[in-house]
Amino acid sequence: MQSINFLGKRGSLYQKHVAQDHRLFQIALASFGVTVIVLLALVGFNIYLASTLQGVVKKQNDTKQSIVTNQTVEAAYLLFSHKLKAIAEIFEKRNNKQQAINFLNELFADNGFIGGINYDGAEQILSLTVDSTNIFQLEGLINKLDSPEVKSNFASLNRSNISRSSEGKYSMKLTVQLKQSKTEQQPAAATTKGTDDRQEK
């Protein structure tokens, strides 16, 4: 009669189950490890993106602040520049006026003298009353005023209202327009150039 070993079969099945459970545990452990690594990678990537975004936002804010600061500085500079230009024009006009008076005073030294002065700063027009003691001085004065050398010093020079007093003295009104200052000529030249360029186009 043949004997059957039930314990041996049972032990063999148990070992197979243990080996299978061990294999499944290893697979589950590996899957868990991979999942943890992926999660850590995602967390690290999110932290990197948040840090990068924060840096970009900070740089953008710094750029905006720099632009605002530069605009304020530029506006202050332009205002200061315009003020300096206006002051320079005022001083240059006054200087032109004084030079014109000195020039005419020296011109009239032998033929008359300046009796009164009015000055229009906006139009740069100098109005003078010139007195001569006799007709000969008056003629010499008129000849000097009509000379090209004298007229070239001014934008325009006109004489009028020649009169004679009861004492035999002569009086004449002289209207002189000063030439434009250099600071006024530059914008005018720039405007003319711009007009010419548009016409060429």
* Range of lowest pLDDT (36-40, 116-120, 188-192): 188-192
Q: What is the pLDDT of residue 189?
A: 46
Amino acid letter, residue 22: H
Instruction: Confirm if 169 and 132 have CB atoms less than 8 A apart.
Output: yes
**Would you give the DSSP letter of residue 181?**
P
- DSSP strands (E only) in 1-136: 113-120, 125-132
Angle, vertex CA 133, rays to CA 128 and CA 137, nearest 5: 80
Architecture of domain 93-183: 2-Layer Sandwich (3.30)
Tell me the whole-structure pTM to 2 decimals.
0.46
Q: What is the pLDDT of residue 138?
A: 86
What is the rounded distance in angstroms from the CA atom of residue 67 to the CA atom of residue 119? 47
Mean pLDDT of 111-132: 82
Instruction: Confirm if 100 and 126 have CB atoms less than 8 A apart.
Output: yes
Angle, vertex CA 134, rays to CA 168 and CA 153, nearest 5: 130
Token readout for 79 is 């205002």
Q: What is the pLDDT of residue 74?
A: 77
Mean pLDDT of 15-33: 80
Q: What is the pLDDT of residue 200?
A: 53
Q: For residue range 96-114, list pLDDT tens digits in order.
A: 778 888 888 888 777 777 8
Query: In percent, how much of the chain has pLDDT > 70?
Result: 75
pLDDT exceeds cutoff 80 at 48? yes
* Range of lowest pLDDT (11-15, 98-102, 119-123): 11-15
**Residue 142 pLDDT grade (very low, low, confident, very high; cuts 50, 70, 90):** confident
3-state secondary structure of 123: coil
Residue of 186 and 20 predicted with greater confidence: 20
What are the structural domain ranges in the chain? 93-183
Q: For residue range 143-201, list pLDDT tens digits in order.
A: 888 888 888 888 888 888 888 888 888 888 888 888 876 555 555 444 445 555 555 55
Q: What is the pLDDT of residue 42?
A: 86
Beta bridge partners of 132: 170
Instruction: Confirm if 153 and 103 have CB atoms less than 8 A apart.
Output: yes
pLDDT exceeds cutoff 80 at 54? yes
Other C-beta atoms lying within 10 Å of the C-beta of residue 145 = 20
Q: What is the pLDDT of residue 197?
A: 55
Q: What is the pLDDT of residue 188?
A: 46
Instruction: Confirm if 140 and 111 have CB atoms less than 8 A apart.
Output: yes
